[in-house]
Every structure is written in C-alpha cells, then in structure tokens.
C-alpha cells in the first residue's frame, strides 16, 4: 500500500476543476510514489464549494484558508486562485511547511515573487508553478531534442498566444480586465506561459522591447456573481474603464544571442487558445501549436539533400515523453493531461526531494520579463534585465 | 444524493482501462442521472486483475464471469473483452437482466450478433455497442449538420482507417492475426468502426465489393503471455501462418444512392491511428481525421461566391456536442473522452428508458456488411445485402 | 544558332492554350536542343482559329487537318483535341512521319490505342501522351525516391481525383457527359491521369474491380456553341440523358503485390481539381495533392526513433527535378509548368532519338485498365488483365 | 492590330528573367491595351547580355544605360537592377519622359526616394514599384474583402518573411551582405515587401520599434563573378565583415489603431521564401503564406454559430482577381504570375493615364518605415513617423 499524501486546494473554479482532475487521474495512469488524497477544498462560498467538493470527491470543505493551512494533516497546498491572491496564501503555506502547487501567473509583481521564492526556500518546501504546457509530450520532446543538439545554435524564437474572447465590445468588465485584480492583460495571463516556454526552450531573456494596445477602452460593468468566467454577464448599461492592455507584443534578446518575439492578445478573431511558437536554429527548426498540441513540427538540416521538409511528429508514441502512460500511438490526449503530468512530477519531487521546474525561481524570472515589458511599453524604449 | 448504479466489468486490458476511466470521469464532468459504482472487476488471472482493480478503484474482483453476472447487485455488465468472447458473456448478461455496455466489434459473425440482439430485446436490457468515435464532438457535430441539411444530398463517402503496427515482418503472430480469435483482420477491427460511422452519417449500405490482401504470410509465433498487446513479443524462431487479411478495401452503395469507399489496413507506414472520412454532398462537404479529432472540416456551397473553402471547425466550443462540459474553447480533448460521453449517454438511456445508439441492432448491421465484404473478397463479385 | 523544329497544332481550346504556352516557354527556361517554331495552328472555325493563332504567335492557320499533316515542313503534330478525334489524326500523322505530342486520354478504346501505337512504331515516330502530372517536380521526386528504394516494398496506392463542376443539376449536357464524344465520364477523363501515375509510381495493374454511379440522370441540352467549356450554357428547357458515369471507383491489384484504390468524381463539392495519392511502403510513405502541387509529403521509417513524421518537401530547390530551371527555392510554380517540362523532354527525345514516357504503349495500358473498370462496373465482378 | 509599346530593360539577372517573362506572357493571357515589344536589353557585360537578349527575344542590346534612356523609341524603362542603382537610372528615365517599371526596394534611402518621386511627378511619367505580391490572386482577394468590410476594424497585423539561405557560415559575403551595395539586410530586402503589404491591407504605419541581430559577423569574401546569385561562391579563405543585419524585427502602430509585428530573417532554417501574414479584425481574420500563394485563409465571425473556422479559399476561380485569365478552378499558378499581372496593370495605367499602385509615393513611405526601423534598432527606442 502506497503512502498517502494529503492535498488542500484553495479555489474551485476552472483551475480547481483542472487540478482536482489531475490529482485524481495521476495515480490511475502513472505509478506515482504516493497516493494523493483529496482532503480539503477551500473557498469562500460554502454552497458552491460544497457542490464542488462533493462532485470531485474532496473529503472536507473549509471557508477559511488560514485554517486549512494550519491543519497538520495537510501536506500540499494547491493554489488554484486568481493571481492577486497567490502571494498571501503561498507565504502562509510555505511558513506552515506545506509543499506548494501554484497556478500561474505567479504573482502581481516581482517583489511578491521574490519574497514567495525566499520564504519557500527558507522553509524547505517544494514550490511548483503550473506552466503546464512544458509538460505536453510535444513540448517536452522539443526540449529533449534541443538538449540533444538537434536544433543547434538557436537564432529565433517566434511566438504568439492568441485568443478572441473579448472582441465583442459588450463583453463585460470582468476581473481579468482590471489592473487591481489582474495586474495586466494578456501580458500577464498569456505571455507568462509564453515566456516560460521561451526560458525553458531557448534560455534567459536579457532585454525587452514592448508595445501594448487597448482596442476597447470601456466595457459594461460585470455582474460580479459571474466573475471568474470567460463568458461573463454584465450588470446593465453602466460602463467602466478597461485598465489592462488588450494586446501585448514583445521583442527580446536572449543571453545566448538568439532574438525572439511574443504576441499576446485577446483580439485575434478565430483563435480560441492558440499558443504557437517557432524555433529556428543552425541545425534544425521546431514549430508547435497548442490547438494541435499532440503535434510537433521538426525540420532537420541533416536530412538527405532534396528530402528536407517540416515533418509533423505525432507525439503519442511510447518513446515520447509521458505519452506511453496513456493510449497506443495515434490516440491523442487533451488539454488536461499536462496537469496530470505536473502532478506526477510534483509527487516524485516530493518523494525524492528533488527539484521540480518551473518553480518560483522561474516564476520570478518570468515576472521580471513581464514587468520589463510593461515598463518598455510605457517608455517606448528597450529595457535591459 | 444521486442513485447509485453498480458496474461489473469483464476484461482489464487496454479497453478495461479506457472503460474504467470513463466510468470514473463521467460524473465529474457531467451531471449524470446516477453515480456509477465500480463494483466488480472480472478477469482470469487473479494477480493482474487485483492490481488493475486496486489501481482503478474497483471494489471487488471475480475470476468467474458467470458468478459476476449472477450477482443481483450488479446493474450493468461492461464487456471489455476481445470479440470472440462477447457472445457468451452478452447472452448470459442479458438473460440475467443486466444492461450491457459492450466493446466493439460486436461478435464473430452475424448469427451471433442476431442472437445477442434478440436476447437483449427479449430481456428488455439496454445494449450499447461502443463505437465511441460517434461521440467525439467533431463527429457528433457532423451528424447534426447533416441532419440539419447542411450537406444536402450525399454523393460520396470516402474513408480510410490506417495503422502501421505490423509492417515489421518480425512482429509476432498475436491473437489479432489469427482467424479463430479475431475472425478477420482490419476488416473486423477497423472497418467495423468505419462502417458504423458510415451508417451513422450517410445511411444503410446495400451492396459491397471488397478486396483483401496479405502482405506478410507468416510470422513468429507470439509469446502468449504478451497476447493482447499491440507490441507483442515472439517466443522464438518458430513461424505460424497469418490467417487474417492485412488490408481490406471496400466499395459500397448506400440505400440513398450515395457511393462509398473504405480502406482499412495495418500497413500504412506512418499512420498510427488515422481514421479519416470525406463526405461530399450537394450543398457541402465534411472531412474528419481521428488524429486531429477535435477538428471538423466543412465546405459550404452556400458561402458567398469567391469566399468558398474548406474551413476547420475546432469543435471545442460550448455550442458543440459534449464540448461544453470540458474546458474553454480552444482547449482540446483526447481519445478517452468519447468513452466518457458514451457512459454519460448510456446512464441517461437507462435512467429514462430510452434507446442508445449504436446498439446491437446497429452492430448486427455492421457485421452483415463486414461479412459481405469478406464474401466479396473471396468471390471477386459484388454482394448485395 | 539552334536547329528549328516546326510544330503544327490541332485544336485551340483549353489544351491549345496550355500547349502553345509550353512550346513558347520551354526554350526560355531550358536549354532545349532545338527551337520549337509555332508554325501552323489548325481548327475548324477560321475566325476563332485566327484569333488564337495571332494571340499565341502561330505563323499560319489551316482548317483542314489533313493538309496540315501532309505539309513537309512540319516536324511535330501536337494533338490538342478531345479524345474522340485523337485516333484519326494520330494515325495520319504517324503515317506522314510526324512526331506526335498527344493530349490525354489517348483514345476511345483499346483497339484504337493499339493501332495508334502500332502505326507509330511502324513509322518510327516519337509518340508522347501528355499525362503531364508525371512531370511536376514533386511527382518526379516521388518517382526518384521510389527508384532509390526510399519507400521499400509498396503495399498501398490510395488515390482520388475529385472535381465538382457538375454538382449543379442545371449544368448542361456538354460533350463530356455523352458517351459518343467522351467515351466515359471521370473514369476516362480523370482516372486516366490517376492510372498513369499508378503505373509510373507503383507498377502494372493486373486486376480491377469497379463501381460507377450516376447522380444526375438528365440535364438540359447544351448550347453547342459553348461546347468544350467547363462552364457551358444550356439551350433551354429541353433535357437529354447523361450517358457517362458521374463517379468511378476502382480497387486494383498490382503485379508486385500492392493493392490500390481510385476514386474519380465530378461530384466532390469543394474540390476543384484535387488529385491526391498516398503510397505506403515498407520503408516509407509518400502523399501528394495536385492543389498543392509543389509539395510532396514523405514519411521515413528510417528517421531517428521518436522523430518520425510526415514531412512536407517543398520541391522548389535546384536539386529537385526540373525546379532549378525556374526560380530560387521557395518560389512555387503552377499548373502549366509541367507542360513545359513535357515539351523539353519531348524535344530531347527527338534530338537524341530516345524514348519518352508516357507514350502510346503506356496509353494503351491505361486504356486497358479503364476499360476493365467499365466492364467490372457493369458486371459487378473483378476483371483480370 | 494593337498599338505597340517599346520596353528597354536594365538588368538581366534573376529579375531580368522574371520581368522578361512577364512582358512576353502578359498579352498571351490578358487582353492588354497594347503589345509590349522587348526592344532593348541593357547591361554591362556584352557577352552574357547578348545571351540573355537572344534567349528572351530582346531585339537589341546596349551596354550604356544612358544611351538606352535617350532613345526616342523607348516608351518604358524597366529597372531590374539591385537597389543601389535604381536612383540614378530612374531619375534619368523620368527626365527623359519614360514610364518606369522599377524593381523593389525602391532606393537606398528616403532622400533618394523622395527625389525619384518628385522627378517622376514633374515629368508626368508612370512610376510603378514592383511589390508584386499585391497582385497574387489571394492577396488581391484579401484586399477586396477588407474593402468590403468583411474583416471589420483591424486589430492585428502579424507578419514574417523568412528565408534561410545564409545559415551556413561559409556562405560568402555577397553584395546583399554589405551595406554599401544593399543598404541593409532583410529589413530592406524582405521587410520592404512586408511593409508594402501592411500599407496595402491595413493602412499607414505611424510608429516603429525595431530590433536587429547579426548571427554571423564575418564571412568569406565572395567571388565577384558570382555576385548577384543566392548561391554564391567564395574566393578563398579571406574573411570580410558582414555589415548588414541578419534579422530584423519590428513592432508598429498603424494610424487606424491597429498594431503590427514584422519579422524578417535569412536565418529561419527550413523556410525558403515564407512570407506569411495574419490579419485579425472585429468581423473576421485572414491568413496568407507565400509558399502556398494560391490560398487565402479566412475566418468569419458571421458564420453560423458552431460552424466557425478558418477556411482555405483556393483563389483559382474566375471570380478571384486575375485568376480567370489562367486555368480552370483548382489549377494553381506560380511565383512569376504576379509579375504578369503587374505588367498588365501597368500597360492599362499607361493607356488610360490612371494611377498604378504601388508607386514611388508608396515606395517612399515604405522606405521611411524601414529607415525608422533601422534608427529604432540602433537607439532601442520607438520612432514616430
């Protein structure tokens, strides 16, 4: 019988579901070193919290997150909250000696992030930041190929993260569109993922030039009861100011000499959740698109002359990272599976007392790049890190 | 508190996992009318059975399937066995008044299939045949669009189901390659899915011409302990005769005047699990590929002139069948999700005492087409149904 | 100064233009051994013929094709006529010692084809049959790769040639839809191309099973003055019977053990001129689509494990067949360029007195397969060649 | 008999061929108002010039371009030279009252460009700048759809022009890699095309932030006799400094509020000539890729709900711009065809004394953007226009 490890989750919306699913599913498909127990679900509204907990099999509920954190039987705090609440909860959890599985983006600014990292380190707890796309088989394969030298020296990173959920001007002013709750727009929400992938696959960023845009300046005030949803309802005719950017572009330099571009937007009509990157190197190139997340495109300069071309690797074979735990080759997996992989690796890291990446140190670096982007957008000048 | 409904599963290999996952996951993402209880897992080898049961949370195990069927607390028998074992188990289950969730292909021949159907009908049990691809959002959307008249009169069905797992001549003679256990090769395994989709989307087939091929006549005898796997090991140098076809092609006529083609093979190098169909009609066309199962291509003759083109619908929006229960638009789902949809619809059918399709009547019709194909391949002549 | 070689063309519609363009363009981009002189254009209607000749730079016109053929200064007869007129003209041309550049399909039946071949051989003239798709860089590359063993033993040929120009029931009864002028429908027009490619890339076909369909039985009588066009006008309300098939499917066996399928139709809504084939072999696979004719997809079993995938070769590099004569890599060519390649190779064959393929011997074999298909469709049984 | 119009071409390399082809082909496929006569070809080296002239049918040759320009029988000067030679020739041609068909990029700087424009205007000559991609059917269709309001308010322009011809460090230091002959690298060569398309499709650019990179600082000195080619040979071991950038990225703001990004590089391994743009608007979106130049992807927000998707329009139908002059639908055209369209429109503009776009006024605006980019790259700050 495996050791059990008790989870307390804070937050029960979109990410609460995705995380709960991951905790449940991980030991079914992977030989995890311990069995995660869905012990306590924590949230503010008892009624919806109870419904959530019952549906997902959380044994208990708690409306006071501090009480949750102080429970001695809890091993892991899973932070599935909007980013403005990460700091306080993470600090308390670390101080209480809990391992932390934290949703992205890490925090509201780099000061918070630095402190979160420091406190985690001081208290010797694992701190995982859930940039889950690293753990899709295709992206993990890209990493492996880069490490093996298949791409050679990297020249270019070209990335876009495109959504279209606020193209309609009548879409209300939800928490994501206000600076005080969201810190920023797609620069925070989307480019945090993109920068994480760039750090993971290309290397550290040393300078940032950025440009942001606001296409719709005012929106109907949101009905708060619908807050948190991507299909919010408005309260009525009253308008409020959008205080975050609608789109954020960046051009960057990497320490290794590569250059990169980022484009994050909620105004790319037709793109629902397209995160695409292109990597060009001296020996080969890689292309990924999250909407076809089981595929990795690869071009090799070392193919026989006359037979070069971008090939589509369907990363569902047992040789591909993570893929062998699911279905036979050619049977694709979906969005939620990367969360499962994260949970598996997190449990391993706890068991073996090893590092898990990305962690809060990575998160801090991401936030520093994003902040540099916001500063650059304001000044119109390149910002060096 | 929801009503509970007890499942007994027979079989615990690839399909045992896929079904177990579906039973567990269904109530997490859908508001099922009852809660499926993973009551008893049944299989021949106690040790591996126990491991399976423990991993997936089956409460009890049983090595005698007849005992399982006679347990009064079991509501549903889930048949996750190879096709040569369906007949016996299904008959007993129906006679015992159990609802049946049966893996495909239905049976070894149409005589079996007809009796399975008859006994189910006589005993008033639900009988679901798991041609799961009907329940991917993209295929379900195709069905909806056809029913709404978007495609008009259908002229063409063009379909291929392509795999490549036995291209290597050293791949051993597993149960799938022997007539006594598998009945036939891809004609049974793959074309059963393809014919189900054709029946679902186009209509009844009234004549069949077929051609089969054997590319590798002999293979090393398989190590039986590895039987059931798609990556079997051989016992040694001893060779045995492959007694099923390696590839099966069909040309068919539909009752409604459309014509169709099928091509099922295990020798399409590079295709891991590609099931693709094209439907051409008087008003529009549809194209699907299982390796990109979240997408449906649609061409409409009614688009503005000059703006016609095949469009790729990413069937992940809440308006798309099943999709709204998962993640926001643009977040794809995987192979296993269609099993969840099947479980949900099956539980609904039991609760509301309605029909669920495809059922054994559909299965019988599929088997009749497949048998006609085998006869036609032998005679070289068209076979009318 | 290069030797000049005099062309007489018979026919001046779609193919008259495509051929004229090729004769003019060949020496501009290729170092042809001789300079083709557009000497005489021949057609029935003096007025439109003169317009054509003037536009394309044909030096003279002639309304009597027999006179043209008897001119001693003509070296090459270019037959750009509908198939029902090939036989008579080709026979006369061969007997007059002219080299023949003949549009496809070769003839109305295999008796004609055999005689055309025999007379050409007896008179020692070059006879080229213009299945031009062989000479796109991508298809020529496919051939080269197959010959080099890149694909290994071929198992499957899967091909479709799809158009949609007569989906509309009000499209008139043009010459292509009548047996007396067209011999057959897409079986003749489209499958002749497809069978040529199959012979070229896979090998000889030894048996054929076929199925044909008529979706629209009657159409408005065409206005004859518009005959020949793909967008004909009807004369009025009078209806006539469609006497050729609307779609033709075939399943075949090749001498080398491969199996194949063909699907030719004018009812594939949305497909304008899609000729696609898939070739699966023991070492690799190839996929081509004429609507993206500069690309060849290639899968190699010999790629590094974990990095397999279908790659898209953009056949525009100087190493690719023919491509180096056009533009730098990445600059695509179009439909008409394959005609230029045919002209170049034809001029070379004349100069060096070598064979050019496909010739009337190939054409005869193609016609035999097409005829076998028509017989099989009628009988419902496989026809062996 | 049509009026004849005499052309004198200066330059006979890659562009000399492409232009010659266009002049010859235009009247064959289009009803041009006049017949272009290939009168005089001009270049420095008599031998290769003569060969070129003979091959392409230029009636005469001339090694002194000033003499050519002063010939009274010449109506049009076609400038097919590298950009450092445009200024002088264009000025002289305009002063001599010749219409100018000029290869891109327009000039070495905006001072030159402004003067070229002024002198043309003063002398009342037509001045066409050959950004030919505007005249591919797919791009022209994009323009038409934008003008019709199909895309609505434009939010985003995302563009990359990617090549890979100098990834190999042993590729020699050709004229394109030296500031004195090329002015800049891909910023000049490739981004001039990209900016032209952005101006054409989105509107005027009002600010630019840019970043450039040099991946290979030194290269072997080129063998000058091979200069001009994209596959140059080096003289030996001697190295020289690369004085233009290898890659140039830009972020821009448009006057209409849209934002845009550009990425031009010669280091995108695997991309031979990929010019791709994405346009996202309030009603729809468009995507283009030059390597599939017959296709335009279009997403419409106004499609039926649940049936949205990016559709691939194959712009080969007679309803599409220019396409009806070539082949039936589905038969693609190639790179050189856009040159033909330019020639046709240029002859029309001369005949009807109308404007043709892009002209030197457009060229000036492009150069201003490119220069702003170079300045921004140097300063690290946004430059306003």
Q: How far is C193 from chain D (nearest CA, A)?
A: 15
Q: How many angstroms separate the CA atoms of D317 and D138, rounded?
A: 11
Answer yes or no: is pLDDT of A225 > 80: no
Q: Is B5 helix (H, G, I), strand (E, B) or coil?
A: strand
Q: How far is D297 from chain B (nearest CA, A)?
A: 8
What pLDDT shows up at residue C37?
Answer: 98
What pLDDT shows up at residue C226?
Answer: 52
Q: How many angstroms separate the CA atoms of B353 and B93, rounded?
A: 18
Q: How many angstroms separate the CA atoms of C18 and C24, rounded?
A: 10
Answer yes or no: is pLDDT of B3 > 90: yes
Q: How far is A144 from chain C (nearest CA, A)?
A: 11
Residue range B344-383, pLDDT digits in tens: 999 999 999 999 999 999 999 999 999 999 999 999 999 9
Report yes or no: B272 at the A interface, CB cutoff 8 Å: yes
Of the pLDDT bands very low, low, confident and very high (cuts 50, 70, 90), residue D223 is confident
Average pLDDT over residues D83-95: 97
Please judge whether C155 and B259 are an interchain contact, meaning their C-beta atoms are less than 8 angstroms apart: no
* Cβ atoms < 10 Å from Cβ of C132: 24
What pLDDT shows up at residue B222?
Answer: 86
| Cβ within 8 Å of B, A 306-335 | 314, 316-318, 326-335
Segments in chain B forming alpha helices (H): 14-29, 46-56, 65-70, 86-95, 110-123, 137-147, 179-182, 186-189, 191-201, 337-352, 360-379
Pick the closest to residue C187 from C215, C157, C212 (CA basis): C212
Report yes or no: D271 at the C interface, CB cutoff 8 Å: yes
Report yes or no: A269 at the D interface, CB cutoff 8 Å: yes
What pLDDT shows up at residue A127?
Answer: 98
Residues of chain D positioned with their CB less than 8 A from the CB of C18: 327
Report yes or no: D337 at the C interface, CB cutoff 8 Å: yes
Of the pLDDT bands very low, low, confident and very high (cuts 50, 70, 90), residue B232 is low
Best mutation target among A261, A298, A377, A383 (most D Cβ atoms within 10 Å) is: A261
Residues of chain B positioned with their CB less than 8 A from the CB of C271: 280, 285
Report yes or no: B337 at the A interface, CB cutoff 8 Å: yes
Answer yes or no: is pLDDT of D231 > 60: no
Please judge whether B247 and C267 are an interchain contact, meaning their C-beta atoms are less than 8 angstroms apart: no
Answer yes or no: is pLDDT of D79 > 80: yes
Tokens of A145: 């190929």
Distances, alpha carbon B48 to alpha carbons B37, B51, B81, B224, D213, in Å: 21, 5, 15, 15, 59
**Percent of chain A at pLDDT above 90?**
95
Which subunits sit against D, judged by 3+ Cβ pairs under 8 A?
A, B, C
Residues of chain C positioned with their CB less than 8 A from the CB of A284: none
Average pLDDT over residues B154-167: 98
Q: What's B126's DSSP letter?
A: -
Cα dihedral B98, B101, B102, B103, rounded to 10, equals -160
Answer yes or no: is pLDDT of D251 > 70: yes
Q: Is C109 exposed, middle or buried (0-12, 13-18, 19+ CB in 10 A)?
A: middle
Pick the closest to residue C17 from C313, C305, C335 (CA basis): C335
- Search chain C and give the residue with CA nearest A142: C307
Residue range A30-59, pLDDT digits in tens: 999 999 999 999 999 999 999 999 999 999
**Higher-scoring residue by pLDDT: B16, D226:** B16
Residue range B67-98, pLDDT digits in tens: 999 999 999 999 999 999 999 999 999 999 99
Residue range B16-72, pLDDT digits in tens: 999 999 999 999 999 999 999 999 999 999 999 999 999 999 999 999 999 999 999
Please judge whether A311 and C311 are an interchain contact, meaning their C-beta atoms are less than 8 angstroms apart: yes
Residues of chain C positioned with their CB less than 8 A from the CB of B271: 280, 285
The closest CB to that of D380, out of A269, A283, A382, belongs to A382
Q: How many angstroms separate the CA atoms of D192 and D205, rounded?
A: 13
Of the pLDDT bands very low, low, confident and very high (cuts 50, 70, 90), residue B228 is very low
Please judge whether C268 and B156 are an interchain contact, meaning their C-beta atoms are less than 8 angstroms apart: yes
What pLDDT shows up at residue B234?
Answer: 72
Report yes or no: A305 at the C interface, CB cutoff 8 Å: yes
HEC secondary structure over A36-67: EEEEEEECCCHHHHHHHHHHHCCCEEECCHHH
The closest CB to that of A310, out of C145, C311, C319, belongs to C311
Average pLDDT over residues D130-139: 98
The closest CB to that of C28, out of D21, D290, D332, belongs to D21
Write the CB contacts of B301 (distance below 8 Å, at least 6 apart in sequence): B152, B282, B283, B284, B308, C167, C269, C270
Q: ipTM surpassing 0.90, yes or no?
A: yes
| Helix pair C86-95, C110-123: axis angle to 10 deg | 10
Residues of chain A positioned with their CB less than 8 A from the CB of B273: 328-331
Of the pLDDT bands very low, low, confident and very high (cuts 50, 70, 90), residue D239 is very high
Residues of chain D positioned with their CB less than 8 A from the CB of C291: 294, 314, 330, 332
Please judge whether B330 and A163 are an interchain contact, meaning their C-beta atoms are less than 8 angstroms apart: yes
Residues of chain C positioned with their CB less than 8 A from the CB of A320: 306
Residue range A286-295, pLDDT digits in tens: 999 999 999 9
Report yes or no: A267 at the B interface, CB cutoff 8 Å: no
Spans in chain C with pLDDT lower than 50: 227-230
Site of tokens 């409306």: A63
Report yes or no: B263 at the C interface, CB cutoff 8 Å: yes
Please judge whether A309 and C314 are an interchain contact, meaning their C-beta atoms are less than 8 angstroms apart: yes
What pLDDT shows up at residue A228?
Answer: 47
Residues of chain A positioned with their CB less than 8 A from the CB of B292: 292, 332
Cis peptide before C105 (omega within 30 of 0): yes
Please judge whether C155 and B215 are an interchain contact, meaning their C-beta atoms are less than 8 angstroms apart: yes
| Cβ within 8 Å of C, B 49-108 | none
Q: How far is C90 from chain B (nearest CA, A)?
A: 37
Q: How many angstroms separate the CA atoms of C383 and C253, rounded?
A: 10
Answer yes or no: is pLDDT of D228 > 50: no
Distances, alpha carbon B210 to alpha carbons B264, B372, B383, C265, in Å: 11, 8, 9, 20
What pLDDT shows up at residue D225?
Answer: 62
Q: How many angstroms separate the CA atoms of B23 and B37, rounded?
A: 8
Average pLDDT over residues A131-149: 98
Residue range D328-343, pLDDT digits in tens: 999 999 999 999 999 9
Residue range B254-313, pLDDT digits in tens: 999 999 999 999 999 999 999 999 999 999 999 999 999 999 999 999 999 999 999 999
The closest CB to that of D314, out of B303, B309, B312, belongs to B309
The closest CB to that of B269, out of C263, C269, C281, belongs to C281
Helix (H) or strand (E) holding A159: strand A154-162
Write the CB contacts of D170 (distance below 8 Å, at least 6 apart in sequence): D219, D220, D234
Q: Is C247 helix (H, G, I), strand (E, B) or coil?
A: strand
Q: How far is A298 from chain C (nearest CA, A)?
A: 8
Residue range A327-365, pLDDT digits in tens: 999 999 999 999 999 999 999 999 999 999 999 999 999
What pLDDT shows up at residue B296?
Answer: 98
What pLDDT shows up at residue C229?
Answer: 46
Which domains are delineated in chain B? 3-131 (3.40.50.720), 134-333+360-384 (3.30.360.10)
Please judge whether B334 and A329 are an interchain contact, meaning their C-beta atoms are less than 8 angstroms apart: no
Q: How far is D290 from chain C (nearest CA, A)?
A: 8
């Amino acid at each position: 019988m495996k050791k059990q490890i008790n989870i307390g989750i804070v937050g029960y919306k979109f990410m609460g579901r995705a995380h709960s699913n991951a905790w449940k599913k991980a030991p079914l498909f992977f030989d995890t070193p311990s069995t995660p127990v869905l012990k306590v679900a924590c949230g503010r509204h008892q009624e919806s919290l109870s419904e959530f907990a019952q549906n997902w099999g959380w044994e208990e509920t708690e409306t006071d997150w501090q009480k949750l954190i102080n429970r001695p039987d809890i091993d892991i705090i899973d932070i599935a909250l909007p980013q403005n609440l990460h700091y306080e909860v993470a600090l308390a959890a670390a101080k209480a000696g809990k391992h932390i599985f934290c949703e992205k983006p890490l925090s509201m600014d780099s000061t918070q992030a630095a402190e979160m990292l420091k406190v985690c380190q001081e208290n010797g707890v694992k701190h995982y930041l859930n940039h889950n796309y690293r753990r899709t088989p295709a992206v993990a394969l890209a990493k492996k190929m880069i490490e093996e030298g298949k791409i050679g020296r990297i020249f270019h990173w070209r990335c876009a993260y495109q959504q279209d959920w606020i193209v309609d001007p009548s879409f209300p002013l939800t928490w994501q569109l206000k600076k005080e709750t969201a810190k920023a727009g797609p620069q925070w929400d989307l480019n945090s993922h993109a920068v994480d992938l760039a750090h993971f696959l290309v290397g550290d960023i040393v300078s940032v030039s950025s440009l942001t845009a606001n296409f719709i300046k005012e929106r109907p005030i949101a009905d708060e009861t619908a807050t948190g949803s991507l299909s919010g309802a408005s309260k009525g005719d009253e308008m409020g100011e959008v205080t975050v950017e609608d789109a954020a572009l960046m051009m960057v330099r990497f320490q290794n000499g590569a250059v990169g571009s980022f484009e994050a937007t909620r105004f790319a009509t037709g793109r629902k959740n397209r995160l695409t990157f292109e990597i060009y190197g001296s020996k080969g190139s890689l292309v990924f698109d999250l909407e076809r997340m089981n595929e990795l495109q690869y071009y090799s300069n070392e193919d026989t002359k006359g037979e070069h071309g971008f090939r589509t690797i369907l990363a569902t074979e047992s040789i591909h990272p993570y893929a062998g735990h699911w279905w036979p080759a050619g049977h694709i997996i979906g969005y939620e599976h990367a969360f499962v992989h994260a949970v598996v690796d997190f449990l391993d890291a706890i068991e073996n007392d090893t590092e898990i990446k990305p962690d809060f140190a990575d998160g801090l670096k991401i936030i520093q790049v994003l902040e540099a982007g916001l500063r650059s957008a304001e000044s119109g000048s390149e910002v060096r890190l």
